[in-house]
Structure 1
Amino acid sequence: MRKIYSSLLMLALSSFSLETMAQGNLISQTLENPDNEPAPVFPVPSARQLAWQETEFYAFFHYGMNTYTGKEWGYGNESLSTFRPPKHPNCEQWVQAAKDAGMKGGIAVVKHHDGFCLWPTKTTEHNANNCGLSFEVNVPKAYAEASEKLGMKYGFYISPWDRNSAHYGKDTYVKEVFLKQASELAEYGHDQFEMWFDGANGGDGYYGGANEVRNIDASTYYDVPNLADSIHKMQPNCVMWGVGDEARWIGNEAGWAGVTNWSPEYKPARGPNENGNENGWRWFPGESDAKGTNMGWFWHAGESPRSLNELFKFYLETVGRNATLILNFPPDQSGELPKATVTRMKELGQLLKERLGTDLALDAKIEASETRKAGAKRTYVATNLNDNDKDTYWATDDDVIESTITLSWDAPKTVHYVALMEYIKKGQRIKSFTIETSQDGTNWTPRATDQCTTVGYKRIIPLNGSTTEYGNGYSVKAIRITINDSKACPLLHTVSVF
């Protein structure tokens, strides 16, 4: 009898415990996937990587001691009296020019390999405020303030390699100089989007008068985990480029990414990487850096901006190929962008509006051959593709990879480009697609057949197959996009036609 009472008591206590836990929200019951959302295809971007990719197109401003010496890589022994701007560098002019160019932000170089710092750092005497100028120089402060005023994203380039510092290559450099400099820069502004690290393996330099060669192993020397942790605590949306291993170098410095370009990768950031890797284990999206002028990264006498057509080509072959584009326009010795540069940047912004500013898909009838079954609060219909909402998307059922999307208009439209955007919050999927146009909605002509491979964050296809010739476009009443192959059911959140 005692055993029976004991069992009943244990059952009662068990029931009481479960009920109490449920009331305390320690146990909850939810329906599995009520919205019928597709499973992610890993890897997927972090929130900061996604926001970084959405920046798409931004400026690079190389300015510093090299602007006054005519060098690209200063040795580190330059006299401080060489740096002689007539007034504080006009950062607001830089940012306004970038905005006029159709960019969403920019990166200001505040320390290059020569170790010269453009802010009142506590880490070295080799900075702009020891040059005997009649005014204080603080480029990161002025640049962040100008960017916030004009509604632009901002970040800073800080070279890990320091050819001036006596500490470089020793145990003291990273802790006493580099990490402190990065932390100082993270204090400027409220929402930096990128910190740019470059030239990280060392070489010959002044090094406090040693005048020798010092090489290091960049994969371990810079204490990247501690660096990333400290910066992310101060600037949670700041992607660590290069040494930081959150975004990769496309690698050619010529303004193009691979026709096939995956955001997944498994290699480190160092070294050219124009294509990514379909089977990469981490999200490692590509950034292409290019010069917007015809000489170096820093300003040189006699330079001029590249042609408008060449700059637009850079845009199509980077932003249009699942990469971001950081385009360099260097300020001159006055601390301002030259007049010709400002004019060219404004022309570029106008051209982007003319060619990619009016989305004809917004007025199209849009249909899909396959549509995923709706969930409780989410649909996956084709009209999600032209609703101007990046958080809705079209999808197929899990076992369906091939599908066709058709856009049509009652009256003919003259078209040049088709742009596709995957819902990359759930990974990059599409491996191959085709685009066809029709003048009558019945007969179809394939377009740009050698370019329709991966999509990723954004893919812009010139229908004539050329990134250099705009052409006359095609008069169409319908466009058909066929997904031929995908790692899993394809997901697109936007289709645009220009």
Structure 2
Amino acid sequence: MRLLHHLAAACVLAFPTTVLGQNTFKLVQQTLDNPNNEPVPVHPVPHPRQVAWQETEFYAFFHYGMNTYTDKEWGNGDEDVKLFRPTAKPNPRQWLEAVKKAGMKGGIAVVKHHDGFCLWPTTTTEHNATKAGNPYTADMNIPKDFAEAAKELGLKYGFYISPWDRNSVHYGTDRYVPEVFLRQCAELAQYGNDQFEMWFDGANGGDGYYGGRRGTVNVGDASIYYDVPNLRDTVHKVQPNCVLWGVGGEARWIGNEAGWAGETNWCMGHGTDGDINGWYWHPGESDAKATNKGWFYHDYESPHSAERLFQMYLETVGRNATLILNWPPNKAGVLPASDVKVLEELGQMIEKRLGNDLAKNAKIEASETRAAGLNRTYGVKNLVDGNTTTYWATNDGTKQATLTFTWDTPQALRYVSLMELVAKGQRVKKFKVEISQDGTNFKPVAQNVAQTTIGYKRIIPLNGSTVNSYSAQGMQAKALRITIEDAKACPLLKSVAIY
């Protein structure tokens, strides 16, 4: 009787009175917390717009404006608008067609530099191209033409707009940001709601014309004066996928203008190396000049060689940064023929050296593979399937693992490219690459290269040099092995490519 009493009590606890009274049973399907057995993110993690921005990888800068005609880099703001004298109608489409041949995925047009001169019919100032009195400028609207051309060519696009304005009488006062700067940003937003980046440098003042006041104006903390939180919210309401570079706080300057990032490079923190302990996602962008003079066009300048530019590519895109490479249009508003020629050479070079992925034809083995989930697997085939959302991973608690790629016959190997799924955070802290000539005995390669972080993308020249990275014979090998020696959590790679 006591047993029956306990069973009856248990039933009352297990089933509501209404269910017992109706003498019916309701089946409840159990829902697992993590049915796909996905690894938990390692914080910080990027916003989706930051992931899309990193996927752009390689894009162009176009410095064009008043300085093109005054032979300056920084105008003072007092230049007569009539000094802006294009010798032909500027052609943004030609700029973009040329850089597309180099494999670039987009471009940023400088439409207002520190001199305050605007390349569109803005309502905020008379200091703009339409007031120049030149036959090619009466209806000039560079951002409109640039955006339209980019869309037609399937390229990403955005604009550089200087927060510092050496022409505006309001700069440094409470009126400048709401009446001039934010309004100019809003005007530029009308040229497309799919801009991928808005470029703001951190300039916070200095000497200038300032509408005739003349003198030195310093606004102190740029993020406060330019009202960055409001700026960010205002832009994102119209441009949800637009990353605000510089004072916007969504991507960082890599710390130099020479086209290199640190071999160890975290997507958090500041400078060339970032900071493993950084608390928010802050990936690096390297801005570099493709020519041997300034950011703006100057007579008798020449482009760097394709080989030098490829070195920059390896030392930026290949080190978990993006590369924005500057190509200044000339006084006719086009890229010079010598620049276009080098761009074509660079595109051919990248395709030849990084276009044939040998990993796709290799047998791939992993020391460990994460247990599959309900609708997701984590096997090595994910490394070469070309899908940006699939990945190989180990089980929780495993921070060391090996991936081995083998071929039946020796291959000429020169580079290995690794990519983490950064949407779940940056994890790898240390790894090494080895090759084997016989498929059994391995030796380390590129030992002079810091094999530490991977991040969005890491490209290792197997000979250890970014200066002379390509050799005709390559390194003959029947196998290549990647060993992840330490990570913040279980490693996960979305791609391994071998060239």
Where on the TM-score scale, by shorter chain, does this alignment land: which range?
over 0.9
1:354 aligned partner:
352
SS class of match (2:395): coil
1:302 aligned partner:
300
CA separation in 1, counterparts of 2:370 and 2:86? 61
- The counterpart of 1:185, out of the listed 180, 183, 188, is 188
Q: Which amino acid aligns with 1:211?
A: R
Q: Which amino acid aligns with 2:406?
A: S
Q: Which amino acid aligns with 2:34?
A: N
Query: Structure 2: 5+ residue runs without aligned partners?
Result: 1-15
1:3 aligned partner:
none
- The counterpart of 2:361, out of the listed 345, 357, 363, is 363
CA 1:121 to 1:376, structure 2 compared with 1: closer, same or farther past 3 Å? Answer: same
- 1:433-452 paired onto structure 2 within 5 Å: 433-449=431-447, 450-452=449-451
Does the 8 Å contact 1:451/1:465 carry over to 2? no
1:464 aligned partner:
463
**Structure 1 residue 87: Cα displacement:** 3.3
Q: Which amino acid aligns with 1:476?
A: A
For the pair 1:200 / 2:203, whether they are aligned, the reply is: yes
Q: What do residues 238-257 of structure 1 show as CA deviations (whole Å, max 9, x unaligned)?
A: 00000100000001100000
Q: Which amino acid aligns with 1:212?
A: G
1:227 aligned partner:
231
**Structure 1 residue 376: Cα displacement:** 0.8
1:251 aligned partner:
255
Q: What do residues 52-88 of structure 1 show as CA deviations (whole Å, max 9, x unaligned)?
A: 0000000000000000000000000001100011333
2:264 aligned partner:
260
1:454 aligned partner:
453
CA separation in 2, counterparts of 1:149 and 1:383? 35
SS class of match (2:247): helix
CA 1:29 to 1:180, structure 2 compared with 1: closer, same or farther past 3 Å? Answer: farther
SS class of match (1:219): helix
- 1:352-431 paired onto structure 2 within 5 Å: 352-431=350-429
Q: TM-score, normalised by structure 2?
A: 0.93
CA separation in 2, counterparts of 1:292 and 1:325? 11
CA 1:43 to 1:199, structure 2 compared with 1: closer, same or farther past 3 Å? Answer: closer
CA separation in 2, counterparts of 1:390 and 1:414? 27
SS class of match (1:171): coil
SS class of match (1:244): coil
1:118 aligned partner:
119
**Structure 1 residue 13: Cα displacement:** 8.7
Query: Structure 1: 5+ residue runs without aligned partners?
Result: 1-10, 17-21, 268-272
2:481 aligned partner:
480
Task: Give the 4+ runs in structure 1 shifted more than 4 A.
Answer: 11-16
CA separation in 2, counterparts of 1:30 and 1:325? 45
1:153 aligned partner:
156
CA separation in 2, counterparts of 1:386 and 1:437? 19
1:38 aligned partner:
39
CA separation in 2, counterparts of 1:73 and 1:389? 44
SS class of match (2:324): strand
2:172 aligned partner:
169
2:86 aligned partner:
85
Q: What do residues 451-494 of structure 1 show as CA deviations (whole Å, max 9, x unaligned)?
A: 21100000000000000112231011100000000000000010
**Structure 1 residue 15: Cα displacement:** 11
Q: What do residues 266-318 of structure 1 show as CA deviations (whole Å, max 9, x unaligned)?
A: x6xxxxx0011101100000000000000000000000000111100000000
1:278 aligned partner:
276
CA separation in 2, counterparts of 1:362 and 1:389? 13
1:238 aligned partner:
242
Q: Which amino acid aligns with 2:459?
A: I
1:64 aligned partner:
65
For the pair 1:341 / 2:339, whether they are aligned, the reply is: yes
CA 1:129 to 1:397, structure 2 compared with 1: closer, same or farther past 3 Å? Answer: same
CA 1:119 to 1:15, structure 2 compared with 1: closer, same or farther past 3 Å? Answer: farther
SS class of match (1:60): strand
Q: What do residues 74-126 of structure 1 show as CA deviations (whole Å, max 9, x unaligned)?
A: 00000110001133310000000110011000000000000000000000010
Matched positions, count: 477
Does the 8 Å contact 2:379/2:392 carry over to 1? yes
Q: Which amino acid aligns with 1:425?
A: A
CA 1:274 to 1:262, structure 2 compared with 1: closer, same or farther past 3 Å? Answer: same
CA separation in 2, counterparts of 1:400 and 1:199? 42
2:218 aligned partner:
215
CA 1:387 to 1:95, structure 2 compared with 1: closer, same or farther past 3 Å? Answer: same
**Structure 1 residue 383: Cα displacement:** 1.6
CA 1:207 to 1:29, structure 2 compared with 1: closer, same or farther past 3 Å? Answer: farther
**Structure 1 residue 190: Cα displacement:** 3.6
SS class of match (1:337): coil
Does the 8 Å contact 2:311/2:466 carry over to 1? yes
Q: What do residues 14-55 of structure 1 show as CA deviations (whole Å, max 9, x unaligned)?
A: 999xxxxx9xxxx99631101111110001110100000000
Q: Which amino acid aligns with 2:355?
A: G
CA 1:118 to 1:32, structure 2 compared with 1: closer, same or farther past 3 Å? Answer: same
CA separation in 2, counterparts of 1:89 and 1:262? 39
SS class of match (1:317): helix
1:270 aligned partner:
none
Q: Percent identity?
A: 64
Q: What do residues 184-237 of structure 1 show as CA deviations (whole Å, max 9, x unaligned)?
A: 111112410000001421000000011110001202000111111111111111
Does the 8 Å contact 1:64/1:111 carry over to 2? yes
Does the 8 Å contact 2:260/2:286 carry over to 1? yes
Does the 8 Å contact 1:369/1:403 carry over to 2? yes
Structure 1 stretch displaced more, 106-115 or 447-456: 447-456
Q: Which amino acid aligns with 1:189?
A: G
**Structure 1 residue 152: Cα displacement:** 0.4
CA separation in 2, counterparts of 1:456 and 1:14? 55
CA separation in 2, counterparts of 1:417 and 1:183? 44
**Structure 1 residue 133: Cα displacement:** 2.3
Q: Which amino acid aligns with 1:382?
A: V
**Structure 1 residue 12: Cα displacement:** 6.5
Q: Which amino acid aligns with 1:249?
A: W
2:4 aligned partner:
none
- The counterpart of 2:146, out of the listed 143, 146, 152, is 143
Q: Which amino acid aligns with 1:288?
A: S
Does the 8 Å contact 2:202/2:222 carry over to 1? no
